[in-house]
Amino acid sequence: MPNNLGSTYTFPGTNLTVNRMGYGAMQLAGPHVFGPPKDEAACIAVLREALESGVNHIDTSDFYGPHVTNQIIKKALHPYKPGLVIVTKLGASRGADGSWNLSSKKEDLVAGLHDNLRNLGLDAMDVVNLRVGGVSAPTDAPLDDPMTTLAELQQQGLIRHIGLSNVTAKQLAEAQKIAPIVCVQNMYNVAHRTDDALIDSLAQQGIPYVPFFPLGGFTPLQSNDLNEVAASLSATPMQVALAWLLHRSPNILLIPGTSSLAHLRENLAAATLELSPETLTRLNAIGAAK
């Protein structure tokens, strides 16, 4: 396994070891994460090159599309290489109008899991994240019922490990009373630092933190500091933002997404960027100023 993708990390209590630079599949779907892509062949090429480059951690969900991204992953990569870790999430579905419909009801979680398994061509998921909260920020919703459902599916052998997405530290503690949690996926980037304390707590527990919107999401990061640092390193601002995350804590795993080979190569190259202590101090100030 190559070590040029930000070193490796092992999900706690598992035999799943991944390179810290992974791939997020959301952008394989059409505009607004709905419908098919304009160029499916390009998406397939991106997935195959990602794996050839050492990526062995793919983040997806069957509500991307819906169904589209998982079907493309299967078409591109099935049968899957040994060591490839596919992580999905449950807790939402898509309306015919493209709307996002959040639901943690048992029947919806079970149906969503079987959609993932069918469209990916799997008998069991490596990791399933329970997605809760709002669009980008957690709420204080209780997790007892949906976590119990996922624990039951785990006991049935359909889920190997359970993670959480868009949660608070309190919700994490509640979930851990029901089943072991192997990862947390929340919004975090160099300018959005709400989870600093949670990341440090998870690192102490050996639990990986997987930031979504690592580059700002639908409102890409903009900063003079990012631009100036990037220019000094002959890199792009987005590469610097990804490199900062890898430097931030060894338990951070990245899943930047793209349907472009050029952007894929740019993202993967960010794992090789070295940031000096002075540069890190300057970048840290971006979030501290918020």
Query: Which is catalytic among the residues 9, 23, 64, 209?
Result: 64
Could you tell me which of 30, 37, 27, 34 has the C-alpha nearest to residue 60? 27
What is the tens place of the pLDDT at every residue in 226-277?
A: 999 999 999 999 999 999 999 999 999 999 999 999 999 999 999 999 999 9
Burial 60-90 (b: 16+ CB within 10 A, else e): bbbbbbbbbbbbbbbebbeebeeebbbbbbb
- For 149, the 3-state DSSP assignment is helix
At 72 the pLDDT is 98
Q: Distance of alpha carbon 31 from its chain centroid, rounded?
A: 19
Q: At which residue do the structure tokens 């949670």 appear?
A: 198
Rg, the chain, Cα only: 18
Domain residue limits, the chain: 14-220+251-259
Which of 6-10, 160-164, 171-175, 268-272 bottoms out in mean pLDDT, i.e. has the lowest?
6-10
Considering the four listed CATH numbers 3.30.70.270, 3.40.630.30, 3.20.20.100, 2.115.10.20, the one that applies to the domain covering 14-220+251-259 is 3.20.20.100
Q: Is the pLDDT of residue 201 over 60?
A: yes
**Cα dihedral 212, 20, 123, 163 sign:** negative
Which class for 15: exposed (0-12), middle (13-18), buried (19 or more C-beta within 10 A)?
A: exposed
Average pLDDT value for residue range 57-67: 97
Q: Is the pLDDT of residue 151 over 60?
A: yes
At 290 the pLDDT is 52
Strands 159-165 and 181-185: parallel
Q: Is the pLDDT of residue 206 over 50?
A: yes
Does residue 64 carry a catalytic annotation? yes
